[in-house]
């Protein structure tokens, strides 16, 4: 296995992880914006417990989807960060061996 082949694989992993982090960040921003907008539109109660009891949480499937999207994309960001850390560590090890 040549060094160039391994290097290209690591670069691919770093690129994929970076794209994964960027996509997850964009989706987290969208979901957060949607949640904030829904809570701002709800004027039934000024008390947080009142909002949870009477707000759009029970009335809008969109809010549930946004909460799920927030959770899924948080997990995706964590996975991409782990891939990035492993690829970076592997690259560091290869550089130590190669030099």
Question: Are the C-beta atoms of residues 55 and 45 closer than 8 Å to each other?
Answer: yes
What is the per-residue pLDDT across 69-78, written as a single tens digit (0 to 9) for each? 999 999 999 9
Segments forming the whole domain that contains residue 35 = 3-98
Looking from the CA of 21 toward its CB, the CA atoms found within 13 Å total 13
74: closest CA among 35, 36, 32, 43?
A: 32
Cα–Cα distance for residue pair 26/10, rounded to 1 Å: 24
Question: Does the predicted TM-score (pTM) go above 0.75?
Answer: no
What is the per-residue pLDDT across 32-70, written as a single tens digit (0 to 9) for each? 999 998 887 765 555 555 555 555 444 456 889 999 999
Please check the confidence at residue 16 and state whether its pLDDT lies above 90.
yes
13: closest CA among 86, 73, 76?
A: 86
State residue 90's pLDDT score: 86
């Amino acid at each position: 296995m040549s060094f160039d082949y391994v290097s290209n694989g690591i670069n691919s992993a770093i690129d994929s992880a970076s794209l994964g982090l960027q996509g997850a960040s964009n989706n987290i921003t969208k979901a957060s914006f949607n949640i904030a907008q829904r809570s701002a539109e709800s004027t039934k109660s000024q008390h947080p417990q009142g909002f949870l009891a009477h707000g759009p949480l029970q009335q809008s499937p969109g809010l549930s989807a946004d909460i799920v999207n927030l959770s899924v994309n948080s997990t995706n960001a964590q996975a991409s960060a782990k891939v990035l850390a492993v690829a970076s560590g592997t690259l560091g090890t290869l550089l130590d061996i190669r030099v």
